[in-house]
Amino acid sequence: MSNENHKKKKTQDDKKNPFTTSKKKKAARSKEIASKQQSVNQTPGSDTPEKDLAEGELVLHPKDPQVNPLQQPVLKDLVNHIMKNGIPKLQAEYATLAKYKPPNMTREVQNANKKLCRYKDVSCWDQTRIKLVFPLNSQNDFIHANYVNHPLFKNKFICTQGPMEHTVLDFWRLVWQESVTVIIMLCQCFELKKPKCAQYWPTVVHTPKQVGPFSITADDIKTDDPNVTVTDLKLEFGGDVRRVEHYHWVTWPDKTVPKNASIAFRLLVNPRDYTANPSVIHCSAGVGRTGTLLMLEAMFQHIQNFRPVDVPELLKQLRAQRSQLIQTEDQYVFIHYAMVQYAFMTRTVTLNECQKFFAAYSKYLKEFAEETKAKQTAKKKKKKPVKATRRKEHKEDKKEEKKELDTYFSLHNYEDDSSSSDSKK
């Protein structure tokens, strides 16, 4: 592709990218936000965001998905049902759903590949797992990833764990094999000083990152929206070149939920532009934040198609494909709050109609945070000091794990790039 054609394509892509804004539109948008800020501040989602007011505003971005007059009654029925039942009802629903396990689902392949799993207690169902068949000489077909589909989805989704250092190669095998064009990342590489995801993509423009036979280059990095970093990736293998858009939600708070849903709905616009290709969504485990975003897409598509939403049943349908989607109670409550907030943003309901629910939600979040903190404190007090013998056993386990990983890479006939200087950045 010539430079002139590439620039033309890039301009066209920027026009439809909801996270890219021209200077004129930015100026106009700033005036609009300032004029509406007084009313926005009356709602619980309007507190100062992690980096910018954009996360706290409760007005639609020009490129946010809209609701037409025919869809509004369906959305209004849903939010009226949510507000009528209240948060205690949602808590009771989740208490039941937390125990739900889809019938006849197994995880035998995962049990045989424990070293390739970030969390042992997060299941990867055999029935919907993605089998890595690329390249043909590979000795292992396992990756902790599942297809998640729904009749109303405009395209397929792949939910996966955040890659570990020794599974970065498998992640890119997955992306290439499935012809993925959009990756949505919902976590940081490190949170509270704990590793959550390997740095599997380059963060410096025009500096290729080599992962096995794949070369990944960041052609452009956009930070127009302070909440989402968009990286245009060029993925090369064997002389072939593909384009991948990497959307990184950098301000999703650790151990809690976002302040509002505007970023989520805006993010979900992107996969719908590539209906022929699956989109990857991942956080650390690939079930909590990932499930939250996926459920919002499922609920939104019900509204778009004039279908009533049975949230518990819908979640069960998705969990039959990827286990444990929606991992915590506050995530379950958030998806309902998000729909109420979206209804307010689209003027489907008035502030007077939803103000009581907003206040109850703010109170719930505060109480949930306090309860969670108390549980963590109690858990720390119960922890016993690690004995010297256990430390020795731990070191031996680490040595054994390294041997297994070396064997893994030798079976793939690729070098382990996890120790490269780029991967440590």
Q: Which of 124, 187, 197, 283 is catalytic?
A: 283
Residue entry with tokens 């690329």: 134
Is 117 labeled as catalytic in the residue annotation?
no
Other Cβ atoms within 10 Å of 341 Cβ, number: 26
> How would you classify the pairing of strands 194-195 and 190-191?
antiparallel
Alpha helix segments (H runs only) across 136-261: 168-177
Strand partners, 229: 248
Tokens at residue 417, please?
């790039």
Closest CA to 341 of 31, 56, 6: 56
- Give the three-state DSSP class for 340: helix
Residue 48 Cα distances to 151, 257, 263, 303, 309, angstroms? 38, 15, 15, 30, 31
Instruction: Report the C-alpha gap between 229 and 236 in whole angstroms.
Output: 22
Instruction: Report the C-alpha gap between 191 and 250 in whole angstroms.
Output: 11
Tokens at residue 247, please?
């959307």
Strand partners, 237: 240
Strand partners, 220: 232
Closest CA to 184 of 107, 276, 278: 278
Instruction: Report the C-alpha gap between 108 and 126 in whole angstroms.
Output: 7
Instruction: Report the C-alpha gap between 79 and 352 in whole angstroms.
Output: 13
Sheet holding 214-225, edge to edge: 145-148, 157-160, 279-282, 182-185, 240-249, 228-237, 214-225, 209-211
Instruction: Report the C-alpha gap between 24 and 262 in whole angstroms.
Output: 22
Backbone dihedral region of 347: left (phi > 0), alpha (psi from -120 to 50 degrees) or beta?
Answer: left
Which residues are the active-site residues?
A: 283
